[in-house]
Amino acid sequence: MERDETEGRAQGRYGTDASAQTELSPAVASAGSIKTKSQLALSVANRRSWRVPIALAALMIVLVGAWSLFDPAMHLGAGERIPVAVRELAPSGGEDSTEVALASGITDELIVRLRRVPALRIATAGPDGTVPGNEFRNAYVVDGTIRTSGERVRVAARLLSPGGEVVWSQTFNRNLVDLFEVQELIAASVADALSVSLDVGTNSTTYGGTNNPEAFAAYLQSRAHMFDADQSVPVDYAEQALAFDPHYGKAYSQLATVLGIQVNTANKTQAGALLAKIDDLTARAIAANPQLPSGHLAREYYYLQVRDYSSAERSFRRAAELDDGKDPELRGNLAFSALFLGRSNKALSLYKSTEMIDPITERDPVRAWPLASLGRCDEALELIQRLTASNASIAQGITQIVFWCRLALGQEAEALRFAEEHDPRWATAFRSFMAERELPTLSAAQLRRWAASRYGESGHAQLVNDALFASHAGHPQLAINLLRIAFERPGGYGALAMWSPLMARARRSPEFARLVTDIGLVKVWRESGDWGDFCRPVSATEIACN
């Protein structure tokens, strides 16, 4: 599998010297070594995201940095928009129909995207980069070329200053099956970059974002690596984002989230330290600006990790109240949060609503999660297959969903093959559990001793996965017992994974109804009236689940 190649250079207005680091808040003082701007750009260019191609994140960094070179001769007045002329990308192969179509498509999409940024004045430039009249006489110019070779396409783009200096250039390689994705993502990345630099739009400080391009790049990296095996990577990038901009609200929320993921595999001592830090991060994020929904969502995630579902529900609803319908990232985060309380249809509806804000979000593979939870595995797999055909790098991040669905559909060999190729941890965990043939015969006390010998004081996530495998293998009582042991250990993953299609058999048992009652989910459902998709009240005191 080929890597996406990127080349670029940038100049920015944000330094990374020691004086900048002394301004860090206590929450990010432990960030360790902070990458220089050039190191971060190189890091961005050489890593790939399961959600947004990281090569495009590199484009964001260098393009926003270029605005620090803005020509003072332009003499913009207060509130006056910055002129940018977009020249149609040039096919390098002459009259090659594919190149011509792709060049036109990227140019058109870029113009549409940039015109959504209120602070910019956008015009279509002629082949020489000029626009008739004087209005765009001192405008920046975006141009580039396209070359195809077999099933690959190379897009080279650059940004010219009003004086004609090349202040940024970058090359992208993609498969030809993803022509529309290439044009939309490049255009979206440019628009996002300008949003950061000019502090407008949903990446702005008004929305808890930043006007620091290095901070934005580090934030994107943290989100891209959220589900890596090495969880220090997303934590490090989130801390770097806060080091670059100590007031970056979304980065506080991101750091709290990735630290929360670590809780699920930590022992009680480790989890206690992590939860204390998350508690502090989220409380201070809300105190800094109670009107930012990202802080309330991060606080909800903290409550999910400590299994205070009533407080999590209140935080979720407050974040939803503050959603103005303009930020697709926020809407996607709300969708994923809904999955924790068994509200998969609500999550699916929220994911679909992001398309009304920005159609590019249709390519978010996490949308397959609610489909899988609802037992619509064929649809989930079709979506993933379509997305990975054009961007194979997302496969690791959605291995869990594919693995669940293949097993649920009786395709064990396919499940193992996919896991071994993209994230072998799932194949190893499944085979290891299936080798424990005596587990269904163990009493609850014996099972606890087995869990202690296998996972020590940690293992919440591992025990939850064992419960999924037990239910799938036809041992619902074993699955419930394993879930109960998992909920005795720190972590919030169980409230998400229990809606997996692999848990369907165990959910139908009376013991599952007692479990969700004991851990407090039923109380939240009764108080809110929102029961989600898997359990229903049958009386004032009893429920039934499926």
pLDDT score, position 199: 76
Q: Please state, as a whole number, how many other Cβ atoms lie within 10 Å of the Cβ of residue 229.
A: 10
- Distance CA(84)–CA(159), nearest Å, equals 10
Question: What are the tokens at 512?
Answer: 């599952």
pLDDT score, position 76: 55
What DSSP letter does each residue of 150-171 carry, written as one string?
Answer: TTEEEEEEEEE-TTS-EEEEEE
- Distance CA(267)–CA(272), nearest Å, equals 8
Q: Given the structure tokens 């996002």, which residue do they identify?
A: 192
Element at 40 (helix H, strand E): helix 37-45
Helices (H), 289-411: 293-305, 309-322, 328-339, 344-357, 368-373, 377-390, 399-408
- Distance CA(183)–CA(180), nearest Å, equals 5
pLDDT one-digit tens code per residue, 155-193: 787 777 788 887 666 666 666 666 677 677 766 766 676
- Residue 318 vs residues 73, 105, 253: alpha-carbon distances, Å: 46, 40, 15
**Residue 146, SS3?**
strand
What stretches in the chain show pLDDT beneath 70? Answer: 1-79, 93-94, 129, 167-179, 182, 186-187, 189-191, 193-195, 197-198
pLDDT score, position 137: 83
pLDDT one-digit tens code per residue, 475-484: 999 999 999 9
- Distance CA(426)–CA(382), nearest Å, equals 21
* 126 alpha-carbon distance from chain centroid: 38
pLDDT score, position 167: 62
pLDDT score, position 443: 95
pLDDT score, position 156: 80
pLDDT score, position 34: 38
- Residue 488 vs residues 271, 328, 452, 463: alpha-carbon distances, Å: 13, 36, 12, 10
Q: Where are the beta strands (DSSP E) in 227-289?
A: none
pLDDT score, position 24: 26
Question: What are the tokens at 398?
Answer: 């959605």
pLDDT score, position 531: 96
- Distance CA(163)–CA(28), nearest Å, equals 40
The C-alpha angle 67, 156, 110, rounded to 5 degrees, equals: 60
pTM of the model: 0.79
